Amino acid sequence: MSTGTVDLESLRHHGDVEAEPGLLDFAVNVQGSGPPEWLRDRLAAGLSTLGSYPSAASELKARETVAQRHGRRPEEVLLLSGGAEGFAMLPRLGSRSAALIHPSFTEPELALREAGVPVTQVILEPPFELRAAQVPESADLVVLGNPTNPTSVLHPKADVLELRRPGRILVVDEAFGDAIPGEAESIAGVESADVLVLRSLTKTWAL
């Protein structure tokens, strides 16, 4: 566990910049070099409507589609410009003591630290089992990735939900969730006001 000073530049570092020719990029893990053909076609067909704002009806339709995918209600869904926008919004949760589970993607921690939120790094040792996580009881916000970038560890759903406490918000970055067949360990379907799940279109859909 670490509460000490952290170099913000190290949190800003994205491993993909190290993926030189001949190396495989396991930092960003985009599937393929772009969206599949059918998706490109639909996006291209939508270009002619770019001159107008999306209607409330089309926004609702998008939320309904996402809600249906995860067995949730449309009012529980918020459309964002990627998980990245969700990370940038984390300081708005008003946390006074956040715990970030590591090794992990560092953007959520960067957003919280830049906003002056006190952060504790909870560092898991190999094999990175969540059960062993020493999360301070005082943490009113816990953030983790599942499955986890960069370890690729998929934590059992029960272990993730075990982190819930009264007065605490649990945020799970499931950017790679749709890479897991059946998504059995996803908590996107869990209806609870203290649980927030971020999903992404940039990995599986290369979008």
Ligand X SMILES: Cc1ncc(COP(=O)(O)O)c(C=O)c1O
Is there a contact between 139 and 170 (Cβ–Cβ < 8 Å)? no
Element (DSSP H or E) covering residue 101: strand 98-102
Q: What string marks each residue from 127 to 146 as x (binds ligand X by CB under 6 A) or -?
A: ------------------x-
Is residue 109 part of the contact set for ligand X (CB under 6 A)? no
- The window from 33-41, 57-65, 80-88, 154-162 that contacts ligand X (CB under 6 A) reads 80-88
Nearest alpha-carbon partner for 87 in 175, 28, 155: 175
Is there a contact between 152 and 182 (Cβ–Cβ < 8 Å)? no
Ranges within 158-187 binding ligand X (CB under 6 A): 173, 175
Nearer of residues 135 and 143 to ligand X, judged by Cβ: 143
Distance CA(146)–CA(109), nearest Å, equals: 16
Residue 120: both structure tokens together: 């504790």
Least distance to ligand X, CB of residue 167, Å: 26
Q: Which of 83, 112, 141, 146 binds ligand X (CB under 6 A)?
A: 83
**Dihedral of alpha carbons 41, 42, 43, 49, sign:** positive
What is the Cα gyration radius of the chain? Answer: 18
Ranges within 187-206 binding ligand X (CB under 6 A): 200, 202
Q: What string marks each residue from 18 to 37 as x (binds ligand X by CB under 6 A) or -?
A: ----------x---------
Is residue 62 part of the contact set for ligand X (CB under 6 A)? no
Distance CA(149)–CA(175), nearest Å, equals: 9
- The window from 41-49, 63-71, 79-87, 162-170 that contacts ligand X (CB under 6 A) reads 79-87
Is there a contact between 83 and 198 (Cβ–Cβ < 8 Å)? yes
Least distance to ligand X, CB of residue 182, Å: 20
Residue with tokens 């969700």: 86
Least distance to ligand X, CB of residue 64, Å: 20
Number of residues that bind ligand X (CB under 6 A): 11
Q: Which of 6, 19, 66, 84 binds ligand X (CB under 6 A)?
A: 84
Beta bridge partners of 141: 98, 169
By the criterion CB under 6 A, which residues form the site for ligand X? 28, 82-84, 105, 145, 149, 173, 175, 200, 202
